Structure 1
Amino acid sequence: MTAIVESPTRTPHRTKRTYSRWASLVVLCAGTLMTILDGTIVTVAMPAIQSDLGFSASGLAWVVNAYLIAFGGLLLLVGRLGDLVGRKRMFTAGLAVFTAASVLCGVATSQGTLIAARALQGVGGAMTSAVVLGMLVSLFPEPREQARAIAVFSAVGAGGASLGTFLGGALTQALNWHWIFLINLPIGIVSWLAATRVLTPDRGEGLGKGADYPGAALVTGALMLAVYVIVGAGDRGLTATLLLAALALALFGAFTVRQGRIARPLLRLRLFRSRMLSGANAVQVLMIATMYGFQFIGALYIQRVLGYGELLTGVAFLPAPVVIGALMLGLSARTMGRFGAYRVLLAGLVLIVAGMALLSRAPVDGSYVTDVLPSLLLLGAGFAAAMPALTGLAMSGAREEDAGLASGLFNTTQVVGGSLGLAVLSVLAASRTEGLLADGAGLVGATAEGYRLAFTVGTGIAVAALTLAAVVLRPGRK
């Protein structure tokens, strides 16, 4: 009798709570998708931007670099500030800043305006991205539901990165490059309105409990300088690069010393005592370096060696988000529940190694179907397996009060890994191509050889990620 009376009253409450949490996940994914799309949508439109605004080859790089430096440099700071002032406040404020900056990018008519607006976009992107994982693990504390939520979030992120290449080509060719930024206006407004209504407010700890402003200045300066060193390595001499790298390390050192001595640090160094958190972040640097390098070099191979145009290049990458979305949403959570995140991560990294190894033999007279598509499918499947597992392992090593900071740290290593992969692989490819051209080789053949070298080195980086994950993240290891 009692059970019959209580059951109808409890079920609607549970249903409403479940609906609210999954609605919150949709909002978080929508806001994140906008920032992730913007990271790749601009790459295909770069030639059009250069032609319209008169950028030099070196100046054009700052359309990307300005975003990366602001984004990567601020992630750790705004992740901690999200813990202090409330993650919902930080997320919604970030959406507003990013949307406004997108409009400024879209109406830019000069080089300086576009670069400044891209930097402001990086600020807004950091504010939204840094707190998302912390909000997600708080919404879904139960392991099985958390795995499903992380799989959905990772699918949106990974698919959005690949989808950006297609949208960039389509919008640039159908309209003009301004629309790759202006399209964010309706998305941003809808996401902001939904976030203010759906996301549950959180009070945060208060700025008095950890607002280490000198420490914030040190780590933000160190991160921005580190990203600047990485993304601009190909444009400077070795001496200047080493000096800037040494300065970045000195700032990191000063920050670390300060955090160990003050009562209320910005970054609690105990985070790095977690083997899972530290190990997962190290593995992510290598894995993302491989994937970002593949995406950039792979697009160039399709365009400059196979002869595809902008729109066809975007279409050629579409199988990747399809595979990633299908596997992440359909299999990731169940697979991790059955085999464990560690085994799923290793299987995904093995697929990534195989995909990069196939690309390392891409010939000058290759074809998309036989020389690119198989690797694209392997890399998509591998990333679909590895990324949710790696995210779950990283966040499992953080306490609830450190979730925002751990989220910011995880996103920071993504930016560092992506920047590192782009810088290293693109410089290697360019150097190899220039050397062959100097020896009298043909342009297409020399270009293809440079890309093969980059893919070979990318394979080695993926092997290093697999080895590190197998050793460091093994369950039960003390």
Structure 2
Amino acid sequence: MENEKRLETQLVSASPLSKWQLIGLVATCTLSMILNISNSTAVAIALPTIGRDINIPEYRLQWVVSAYSLSSGCLFLFFGRIADLYGRKLCFNLGIVFMAIFALGCGFAQNEITIDILRGLQGIGGAACIPAAIGILAHAFPPSRARSVAFATFGAGAPVGGAIGSLIGGVLTQLTKPTWRSTFFFTAGIGGLCLIGSFFTIPADQRSQETDRRVDWLGAFLVTAALTLIIFALSDGTIAPKGWRTPYIIALLIVGVVLLGLYVAWQYYLERVQDSGRSDMSRWTPPPLMRITIWGRDHGRLAVMLCIAFLEWSSFLSWQFWAQLYYQNYIGYSPVLTMVRFIPMFITGVLCNVIVALVVGRIPGVILIASGTALTSVASVLFANIVPSAPYWAFGFPAAIVSVFGADFVFSSGTLFVAKVCLPHEQSVGGALFQTVTQLGTSFGLAISTIVYDSSLAKASLARGIVVNIDGTNAPQPAQLVAYKDAMWTGFAFGIAGSLLAAVFLRNIGIIGHKKQAAPQDADSASEATAAGPAAADPESEARGEKREQHEPAP
């Protein structure tokens, strides 16, 4: 009881933020999400121009985009832990600086190697600022309707960033003298605005309440190396010399999985040592980078939520990837005309987050998550049955509308749920874990759907008496259409699996958001303190290794 009162006093005594400062804080964090997403979409729309200008072969162009997502996806967990330990504002600002500086560097790059390296370094900034932003929002807003609005607004940064990146990136590439280099200068400018917003709106970092603030460097190495190898293999498997049968792809994938298993075992061991109270006996047993038992929070529902996020991003990004290729490679549209056909998706994405802000504190979370993932599946079904001669309004338009429901509903609901069940000193790690599984889901979905596409293309071409090349350039159009449709059916399978998981395992999750409470600080103390059980109310006792009896939040 004394420990709970001490934690409550610490939270209440924190200097409150004014209304306008809170609005500015949400705007700054949302701008960081816009910057993170536009760093990919603005570059993607300019890829053909980049390739022509600095002589990058088409089959290697994807690495201008993939280098960013690879480094960011592999470092989310590490920087999430660093943010929780040493300051979320510090980590946030360093991340923004990294993205802005290396965006300028990319704008002056003269060859393929330089731009790929700079894009990888730029991705480190995304890995640092996004988990920190989630932690900043979770601590600035106690459980209330305001928290729901804050997280929904932050989630809306993704479709807004996608729209800004595609629209502005396309215009700058086509109409300015520096062409594609203007897109990098533009994103560097967004980074500068974000840094100014952080200076005026994000409160100074407070010292972590954990008594043992050592960093698990071995765990950081294992998880970073594992995710790097796995994501690289999944991303490069389609363009490797022998495809997925290339020896180095198989070897990297196996080594990555082994390292991931070692990471899980090491984290479990460190958690056992911490809980036993013997952590001070050795300098080799710091607190784990991520407690394995975090997956069991709320009777295992957090693990289910993360699995749904994995499947949703497998479905959504697969649909978006193959829809773009269908428009450009099969129909023959230019990148700008293709981008225009995705505009309804960006608009709907913003509206979805408005819906989440309005209803997440009123209806059970399972309704949002199950319906959202199902609607994403509908987008894949529409393209799996598309008739090329039909007008855009018959298949393309409704697919663009419904595709984004799952991504936005799952992101907003998922990050709110993570903030609800994670301890005060775990908020950035929890956000990083969510971001990591979405990144893995993206790579996994594209890899599996590509395997299906290649297999279907070869089979359909052979049925017409043509042995397809490794790049598929000699495949007849009817075979290409069959392959596109089969890839879309794969995306449907991912989405519907996520919807079924939600319907079966999250049916008792209740309301994820929170209605406005009379005493926000007290409510925050009670909710955060009970998020992992009574013993978790004192973060210092956890740092000393005192074993918790349960991890579930209060009903």
Same topology, TM > 0.5: yes
Q: CA deviation at 1:367?
A: 2.7
Name the counterpart of 2:413.
Answer: 389
Please state whether the residue corresponding to 1:109 is helix, strand or coil: coil
Q: Once the two structures are superposed, what CA deviation does each residue of 1:50-100 show, in whole Å capped at 9, x if it has no partner?
A: 111212233323212221221111111000000111000000000001100
Q: Does 1:273 align with 2:311?
A: no
Name the counterpart of 1:376.
Answer: 400
User: Does structure 1 retain, via aligned residues, the 8 Å contact 2:99–2:188?
Assistant: no
Aligned mate of 2:361, from 333, 337, 343: 337
Name the counterpart of 1:451.
Answer: 484
Q: CA deviation at 1:210?
A: 3.3
Q: Does 1:192 align with 2:195?
A: yes
Report sequence identity in percent: 25
State the distance in 1 between where 2:226 and 2:207 align.
26
Name the counterpart of 1:147.
Answer: 148
Q: Which structure has the greater CA radius of gyration? A: 2
State the distance in 2 between where 1:82 and 1:219 align.
17
Aligned mate of 1:285, from 304, 307, 310: 310
Aligned mate of 2:228, from 224, 242, 260: 224
State the distance in 2 between where 1:15 and 1:399 align.
20
User: Does structure 2 retain, via aligned residues, the 8 Å contact 1:166–1:314?
Assistant: yes
Which amino acid letter does the alignment assign opposite residue 201 of structure 1? A
Name the counterpart of 2:546.
Answer: none
User: Does structure 2 retain, via aligned residues, the 8 Å contact 1:364–1:445?
Assistant: no
Structure 1 residues 331-370: aligned runs within 5 Å: 331-370=355-394
Q: Does 1:246 align with 2:254?
A: yes
Name the counterpart of 1:47.
Answer: 48
Q: Does 1:463 align with 2:467?
A: no
Q: Does 1:259 align with 2:263?
A: no
- Cα 1:44–1:435 shift into 2, 3 Å: farther
Q: CA deviation at 1:130?
A: 2.1
Q: Identify, as 1 or 2, the structure richer in helix.
A: 1
Q: Once the two structures are superposed, what CA deviation does each residue of 1:177-197 show, in whole Å capped at 9, x if it has no partner?
A: 112211112211111121122
- Cα 1:389–1:476 shift into 2, 3 Å: closer
State the distance in 1 between where 2:90 and 2:16 align.
26
Which amino acid letter does the alignment assign opposite residue 399 of structure 2? S
Name the counterpart of 1:106.
Answer: 107
Mean alpha-carbon deviation: is it higher for 82-91 or for 210-219? Answer: 210-219
State the distance in 2 between where 1:446 and 1:352 align.
25
User: Does structure 2 retain, via aligned residues, the 8 Å contact 1:166–1:317?
Assistant: no
User: Does structure 1 retain, via aligned residues, the 8 Å contact 2:370–2:498?
Assistant: no
Structure 1 residues 161-240: aligned runs within 5 Å: 161-175=162-176, 176-205=179-208, 209-234=213-238, 235=240, 236-238=243-245, 239-240=247-248
Name the counterpart of 2:347.
Answer: 322
Q: CA deviation at 1:260?
A: 2.4
User: Does structure 2 retain, via aligned residues, the 8 Å contact 1:432–1:453?
Assistant: yes
CA RMSD of aligned residues (A): 2.2
Mean alpha-carbon deviation: is it higher for 417-426 or for 438-447? Answer: 438-447
User: Does structure 1 retain, via aligned residues, the 8 Å contact 2:84–2:429?
Assistant: yes
User: Does structure 1 retain, via aligned residues, the 8 Å contact 2:371–2:499?
Assistant: no
Gaps of 5+ in 2: 1-14, 271-278, 280-286, 467-474, 511-551
Q: CA deviation at 1:150?
A: 1.4
State the distance in 1 between where 2:98 and 2:440 align.
23
Which amino acid letter does the alignment assign opposite residue 486 of structure 2? L
Which amino acid letter does the alignment assign opposite residue 292 of structure 2? L
Q: Does 1:472 align with 2:472?
A: no
Q: Does 1:402 align with 2:400?
A: no
Please state whether the residue corresponding to 1:368 is helix, strand or coil: coil
Name the counterpart of 1:96.
Answer: 97
Mean alpha-carbon deviation: is it higher for 235-244 or for 331-340? Answer: 235-244
Aligned mate of 1:308, from 325, 328, 333: 333
State the distance in 2 between where 1:276 and 1:395 align.
13
Q: Once the two structures are superposed, what CA deviation does each residue of 1:218-237 show, in whole Å capped at 9, x if it has no partner?
A: 11111111111211121244
State the distance in 2 between where 1:418 and 1:258 align.
26
Which amino acid letter does the alignment assign opposite residue 232 of structure 2? Y
Q: Once the two structures are superposed, what CA deviation does each residue of 1:281-300 show, in whole Å capped at 9, x if it has no partner?
A: 11001001111111111111
State the distance in 2 between where 1:221 and 1:398 align.
26
- Cα 1:26–1:257 shift into 2, 3 Å: same
Which amino acid letter does the alignment assign opposite residue 80 of structure 1? R
Gaps of 5+ in 1: 1-13
Q: CA deviation at 1:374?
A: 1.0
User: Does structure 1 retain, via aligned residues, the 8 Å contact 2:372–2:406?
Assistant: yes
Which amino acid letter does the alignment assign opposite residue 506 of structure 2? L
State the distance in 1 between where 2:477 and 2:169 align.
25
Q: CA deviation at 1:161?
A: 2.6
Name the counterpart of 1:10.
Answer: none
Name the counterpart of 2:120.
Answer: 119
User: Does structure 2 retain, via aligned residues, the 8 Å contact 1:306–1:365?
Assistant: no
Q: CA deviation at 1:149?
A: 1.2
State the distance in 1 between where 2:393 and 2:366 align.
32
User: Does structure 1 retain, via aligned residues, the 8 Å contact 2:219–2:267?
Assistant: yes
User: Does structure 1 retain, via aligned residues, the 8 Å contact 2:309–2:410?
Assistant: no
State the distance in 1 between where 2:163 and 2:476 align.
28
Please state whether the residue corresponding to 1:202 is helix, strand or coil: coil
Q: CA deviation at 1:384?
A: 3.8
Q: CA deviation at 1:207?
A: 10
User: Does structure 1 retain, via aligned residues, the 8 Å contact 2:319–2:379?
Assistant: no
State the distance in 2 between where 1:145 and 1:225 align.
40
Q: CA deviation at 1:434?
A: 4.3
| TM superposition score normalised by structure 1 | 0.91
Q: Does 1:19 align with 2:29?
A: no
User: Does structure 2 retain, via aligned residues, the 8 Å contact 1:219–1:252?
Assistant: yes
State the distance in 1 between where 2:149 and 2:218 align.
39
Please state whether the residue corresponding to 2:361 is helix, strand or coil: helix
State the distance in 2 between where 1:131 and 1:16 align.
18
Tell me how many residue pairs correspond in the alignment: 464
Please state whether the residue corresponding to 2:56 is helix, strand or coil: coil
State the distance in 2 between where 1:169 and 1:332 align.
30
